Amino acid sequence: MKRSIFYAIVFFFTLNFAYAQSLPEVTLDQAWKDKIRSLAPEKATFPAKKKNVLVFSLHTGFKHWVIPHTEEMIKILGEKSGAFTVTGSKDISEFEAKNLKKYDAVILNNTCSIGDHRNLFWDKLKENTAVDSATNMKKALELEENLLSYVEKGGGLLVLHGGVTTLNNSWDFSRLLGASFDYHPVQQAFQVRLEDANHPLVQAFPAEGFNHVDEPYFYKNAYAELDFKPLLYFNNSEIKSQRKGQELTEGKTYVAWIRPEGKGKVMYASPSHNAQSFENPQLLRFFLDGMQYVAGDVECDETPLKK
């Protein structure tokens, strides 16, 4: 009998992993857009004037198939709620200081970098071989500084999933965001839990959290400073296929958090690698509330863990 139960458990987890690894890509067609629109919130949670948002979707590193779906989802949330006018772009000139001034918030949509510098701006600039490397790097650092200054002066920054790797080797960006990307195990189903069920930015979810299929992200660099207010987490003991020799069997890893920076607001949310996740209306509400937070529409507890 015990052996039968054991095999049943093994079979369950095998199916779980197989399901997570074989999620089919979803066609970004009118039917999918209509479905997300029907699930999206009718109005914003927090009263506010309409704001302008840039959703930036350039990648030079890993190409997440969900990039166009994420951009479309953000546009639907903004349009249906009436809370945001959303502009999509892959042009790094948007990070010129004069252009950033057009937006109340910037969303980095799976903006994965690549190579030795792990710097999205450098990756793109070096494509112009007519310009020497030193000049390109100087420009890349200028665009990074523009983004840091933009937030410091009151701009909002929402980073989604792979966007954490935009400037993955930069300590300044890591501190701004609260972490750098380290690694992720294989996709799997896991329970996302609420750090504080009474926090206004997680009111979309039930108290027990929600089950989610995704890549469970682990972090490095500024993450160790815990200079953020956590919103969502998973229990490390529940995550399978962790990096050998670095398995975490206790404690928690955060899935989403917020932090103020100067006059601005920052939020990171690791969901999601899969467009199927956006068929969860609770998650759609969470993203919309997060957009409102970084745009300055939400007064809430931002006390960082380190304090």
- How many domains would you assign to the chain? 1
Q: Is residue 105 part of a domain?
A: yes
Q: Is residue 271 part of a domain?
A: yes
Asked if residue 272 has a cis previous peptide bond (ω within 30° of 0), the answer is yes
Mean pLDDT of the chain: 93
Which amino acid belongs to residue 246?
Q
Alpha carbon distance 42, 111 (integer Å): 29
Q: What is the CATH number of the domain that holds 196?
A: 3.40.50.880
pLDDT at 4: 46
**pLDDT tens, residue by residue, 7-51:** 343 343 444 444 445 578 999 999 999 999 999 999 999 999 999
- Helices and strands in the chain, H and E counts: 8, 11
Q: Is residue 303 part of a domain?
A: no
pLDDT at 22: 53
Q: Is residue 301 part of a domain?
A: no
- Residue 42 domain boundaries: 2-294
pLDDT at 115: 85
Residue with tokens 């200028």: 142
Q: Is residue 13 part of a domain?
A: yes
Q: Is residue 163 part of a domain?
A: yes
Pairing of strands 264-269, 156-160: parallel
- What is the DSSP secondary-structure string of 8-69? HHHHHHHHHHHHHHTPPPPP-SHHHHHHHHHHS-SS-SS----EEEEEE---SS---TTHHH
Q: Is residue 45 part of a domain?
A: yes
User: Length of the chain, please?
Assistant: 307
- Residues of the chain predicted below pLDDT 50: 1-20
pLDDT at 21: 54
Q: Is residue 305 part of a domain?
A: no
Pairing of strands 210-214, 188-194: antiparallel
pTM of the model: 0.92
